[in-house]
Amino acid sequence: MPAWPIWLLSCFGIALAITAWARGYALRRNLLDQPGERRSHASATPRGGGISIVMVLLLASAWLAWRFPGQREWFGLFGAGLVLVAGIGWVDDHRPLSPWLRLLIHGLAAGTLAMGFWLEGTGPWPAMAAFVLALGLTNAWNFMDGIDGLAASQAGLVSLGLWIVLPSPWNWLAIGLAAAAAGFLPFNFPKARIFLGDVGSGALGFALAALLAAGLSKGDPSITWLLWVLPVAAFVVDTAFTLAWRILNGEPWWTPHVQHAYQRWARQIGHRRVTVFFALFTTGTVGIWLIGRGAQPPFVILVFIICYTLAGCLWGSSRRLKD
């Protein structure tokens, strides 16, 4: 294996270069996110920059499959699922598609990932967890990609934690994802010059789901499943609560909107502050996750309840903000 610095610099540099290319491509093709709908910006901004992260993940997966023959099937099926998610997102970035078609493809990708775990001999529960995580986080990251730096920074922070706790070779994929997110962020924060687009946001969620599922089935057995889902609390709560709110109010939940907590807060205090606040919250949950390894179940349950309750309260406070 290459040394960590070489691996990090390679993933970072490739993402940086492809994001620059993607911005030029989007401007030439007039692939612009206009203000409104799911976006909280005042001016049109290019989209599709997340193709850089996708390319890094695919190259990393190919390298790791070659380097670790025992996990070749897993990395192959992970790559296939990633191509499905990123591919439908790339098409959707060029021309709008039916949300039901996207959901169908996301389901196929989740099933492909689950098959990878099944063939690894992990049993039905890890495969089922992989399917649920993939379908849920793919759409959560897609929904939450609406302000400068938010989706990429969250994925980078969670990936850093995964790098520490995952065994080889999955820790190499985790830090590669973090480096790729870092290569994209200079174009997306503090002022977005390009967005991830559906090609990148869904791919980030899918990749994180794969890594979290790998942790559940192959990681440190002292880490209970409640701790594994702690780092994604901010995105899970905002996505789930907002969807539930729209459904209960009889709104078409599958259509674009600006009702997420992060969007409501961004209109009040600005994109940068919201992204930084989310980063601080997730840094805290990742820290608790790392410190809590090997903790007794009562402590883990208490921490889980506190973190998710806090996230829920912050979501509830956003409903009182004036639009």
Segment 255-287, tens digit of pLDDT: 888 889 999 999 899 999 999 999 999 999 999
Judge whether 246 lies within some domain.
yes
Q: Is the pLDDT of residue 50 over 60?
A: yes
> Percent of the chain at pLDDT above 90?
76
Judge whether 69 lies within some domain.
yes
SS3 at position 122: coil
pLDDT band at 297 (very low <50, low <70, confident <90, very high): confident
What pLDDT, on a 0 to 100 scale, did the predictor assign at position 25? 97
What pLDDT, on a 0 to 100 scale, did the predictor assign at position 315? 94
Per DSSP, 71 falls in state G
Write down the pTM of the prediction. 0.95
Token pair 């993940």: residue? 57
What pLDDT, on a 0 to 100 scale, did the predictor assign at position 103? 96
What span, in angstroms and rounded, lies between the C-alpha atoms of 285 and 263? 21
- 93 annotated binding-site participant: no
Judge whether 165 lies within some domain.
yes
The arithmetic mean of pLDDT across residues 18-23, rounded, is 98
* Domain ranges, residue 154: 4-318
What pLDDT, on a 0 to 100 scale, did the predictor assign at position 35? 74
pLDDT band at 163 (very low <50, low <70, confident <90, very high): very high
Q: Is the pLDDT of residue 51 over 60?
A: yes
pLDDT band at 37 (very low <50, low <70, confident <90, very high): low
Q: Is the pLDDT of residue 323 over 80?
A: no
The arithmetic mean of pLDDT across residues 214-222, rounded, is 83
Q: Is the pLDDT of residue 6 over 60?
A: yes
Number of domains in the chain: 1
End-to-end Cα distance, the chain: 52
Q: Give Cα 35 to chain centroid, integer Å.
A: 23
What span, in angstroms and rounded, lies between the C-alpha atoms of 41 and 38? 9
- 249 annotated binding-site participant: no
Q: Is the pLDDT of residue 321 over 90?
A: no
The arithmetic mean of pLDDT across residues 117-146, rounded, is 92
What span, in angstroms and rounded, lies between the C-alpha atoms of 39 and 258? 7
What span, in angstroms and rounded, lies between the C-alpha atoms of 216 and 298? 19
What pLDDT, on a 0 to 100 scale, did the predictor assign at position 296? 84
Range of lowest pLDDT (66-70, 138-142, 237-241, 250-254): 250-254
What pLDDT, on a 0 to 100 scale, did the predictor assign at position 77? 97
Judge whether 323 lies within some domain.
no
pLDDT band at 224 (very low <50, low <70, confident <90, very high): confident
